[in-house]
């Protein structure tokens, strides 16, 4: 697998080359000091992996990723900022590394990139790897969609319930609903969204999920029955 290092900081590029040198079957095909330089190089050369900084003059790393499209190289972001993690993973990148990058963390990211490169796609089709990022008490956390049982609106917050705990997210239920896959999640009440595959039963007008009762509003009942293929 060959890689292109893209960073406007020369010292950062040198540090990344040092990390690459310790990984077998990974070679540096080149390095670029700007996203535009990298874009032009990608038009001429076949690159498997981009080690891509985000904050750069002119075109930034996120913009380059969008311009490349889904058929481009696998991408690992390497940045000093945590602020772009949510947007980055929405672009289906392999990983998001915070500088300074340790060798162990770098190898973990490369292994992930190899899996995607061998699969011939940048997107993750394994549902166990689908996730969203949320801000909980000022901390950016990754939550697997498969862990979510249901969501509950509570004033200016939404409680995201999992089997182990709940996360309090400062958001509206509508805003979160728009980011969830409609095939897996459904609003059943003005204050509740449920994970359809987590429903245990429906009793007396309420959905039972992990022994919790979630109300179903009349306005959503017919759509719910249709989703569940109710006979």
Domains of the chain: 2-119 (3.40.50.2300), 143-227 (2.40.50.1020)
Q: Which residues make Cβ contacts (< 8 Å) with residue 190, sequence separation at least 6?
A: 153, 173, 217
pLDDT in tens, the chain (231 residues): 999 999 999 999 999 999 999 999 899 999 999 999 999 999 999 999 999 999 999 999 999 999 987 678 999 999 998 888 878 877 778 888 999 999 999 998 898 888 777 654 333 333 344 777 776 655 667 788 999 999 999 888 888 999 888 888 878 888 888 888 888 999 999 999 999 999 999 987 899 999 999 999 999 988 888 888 666
Alpha-carbon span 60 to 104, nearest angstrom? 27
Residues facing 192 on adjacent strands: 152, 189
Residue among 9, 67, 58, 3 at smallest CA distance from 33: 9
Q: What is the DSSP letter of 128?
A: G
Residue among 104, 86, 101, 116 at smallest CA distance from 52: 101
DSSP result, 153-220: EETTEEEEEESS-EEEEES-HHHHHTTS-TTTEEEEETTEEEEGGG--EEETTEEEETTEEEE--HHH
**By three-state DSSP, how is residue 26 classified?**
coil
Tokens representing 53 are: 């900084």
pLDDT in tens, 109-153: 898 888 777 654 333 333 344 777 776 655 667 788 999 999 999
Query: How would you list the strands of the sheet with 206-209, edge to edge?
Result: 201-203, 206-209, 212-215
Tokens representing 10 are: 């020369």
């Amino acid at each position: 697998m060959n890689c292109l290092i893209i960073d406007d900081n020369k010292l950062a590029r040198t540090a990344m080359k040092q990390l690459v040198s310790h990984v077998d079957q990974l070679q540096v095909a080149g390095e670029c000091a700007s996203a535009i330089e990298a874009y032009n190089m990608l038009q001429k050369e076949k690159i498997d992996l981009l080690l891509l900084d985000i904050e750069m003059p002119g075109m930034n790393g996120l913009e380059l990723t969008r311009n490349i499209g889904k058929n481009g190289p696998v991408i690992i972001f390497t940045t000093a900022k945590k602020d772009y993690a949510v947007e980055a993973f929405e672009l289906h990148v392999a990983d998001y590394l915070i500088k300074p990058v340790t060798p162990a963390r770098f190898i973990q990211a490369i292994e992930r990139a190899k899996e995607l490169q061998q699969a011939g796609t940048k997107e993750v089709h394994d549902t166990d790897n689908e996730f969203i990022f949320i801000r909980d008490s000022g901390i950016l956390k990754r939550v697997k969609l498969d862990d979510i049982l249901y969501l509950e609106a509570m004033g200016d917050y939404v409680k995201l319930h999992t089997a182990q705990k709940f996360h309090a997210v400062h958001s509206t239920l509508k805003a979160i609903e728009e980011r969830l896959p409609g095939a897996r999640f459904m609003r059943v009440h003005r204050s509740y969204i449920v994970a359809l595959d987590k429903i245990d039963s429906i009793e007396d007008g309420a959905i039972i999920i992990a022994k919790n009762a979630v109300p179903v509003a009349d306005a959503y009942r017919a759509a719910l029955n249709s989703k569940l293929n109710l006979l």
